[in-house]
Amino acid sequence: MPLRPSRASQRGANSVKRTLYDIIATMIGTFPVWHNRWDQWRGIFTGDTLDACNAKLRSLGLIEIDETTYALARNIQSEQGDGTTEEKVCLAESTINHARVINSTVLRLLQMPDGGYGSTCSGCGRFTSTARSPDVDDVFIAQFVMGGQSGNYARGADDQMGYEVWSKSAVMTSKVLADLSAASAKGFLWVGHIPGVDPWRLALYTSPSNANKAPYAVSALQAALEAGRTVWEAATGSAIDLLPMSTAKKFAIGAIVAAVIAGGAYYFFVARKRR
């Protein structure tokens, strides 16, 4: 199921700084430790070919990559170019998992029959787009996931859909409902809420042929979509709330924030005067 092959402006995301809120969320385990790790590389274009990409990487003092990594980086940019780091990682994992489930390779899955790149191609088995050339952060994420360092963050997903393409305002439409109904009838299952992933932008499934079934029916995904975007900001993909957040987590966040404020106040108003 293809996602939209769009490329939103990356430059604006570069100015978004890691906030105290993000740091606290990472500390208590809501976000992964690699949350926003490569944001400073967003919007830095690499190249339309592997050779051009490697030339750009060399100019930045970075190591070169192979064709498979380049193909996956293109896939990440094509499907989730304006997404969060978590969404990009999950997209990459699902592509790799899809290749495994259908007994293929990542490169064979992503390339066109002539060895090039492009949009989705149901006739040749390429279910996801590689139409856009990658930025440097996409390259880093492709390397990270292919190196097995992302820890199955996508929870075994091997297929995905971006319902945002049919409803920019996150309102259920007949197309969205029809696709959900078809997915359910075919035996697809939803992996559930993942911190940093907006289900409107990236709905992660396990396919009927995946032996590791996801725990949730498509009806649970529909309920999440019907809730709108109360958790993840649509414009930049930045987290604006924690999902789900128990009372214990809320208390932990409050305690950490209070400790930071109290420590800062003590330093500025007491400790400095004693020097």
Q: pLDDT tens, 88-126? A: 999 999 999 999 999 999 999 999 888 889 887 555 555
CB 57 within 8 A of CB 64: yes
Higher per-residue confidence, 24 vs 138: 138
Distance CA(136)–CA(116), nearest Å, equals: 20
Report pTM: 0.75
What are the residue ranges spanned by the domains of the chain?
A: 11-244
Q: Which helix (H) or strand (E) holds 108?
A: helix 106-110
pLDDT tens-place string over residues 12-31? 333 333 444 455 544 445 78
Token code pair at residue 169: 């305002």
Residue 232 has pLDDT above 70, yes or no: no
Average pLDDT value over all residues in the chain: 81
135 strand-pairing partners: 45
Q: Which two tokens stand for residue 267?
A: 């330093």
Q: Quick one: pLDDT at residue 218?
A: 96
Rg for the chain, CA atoms, rounded:
20
Nearest to 206 by CA among 181, 183, 177, 225: 183
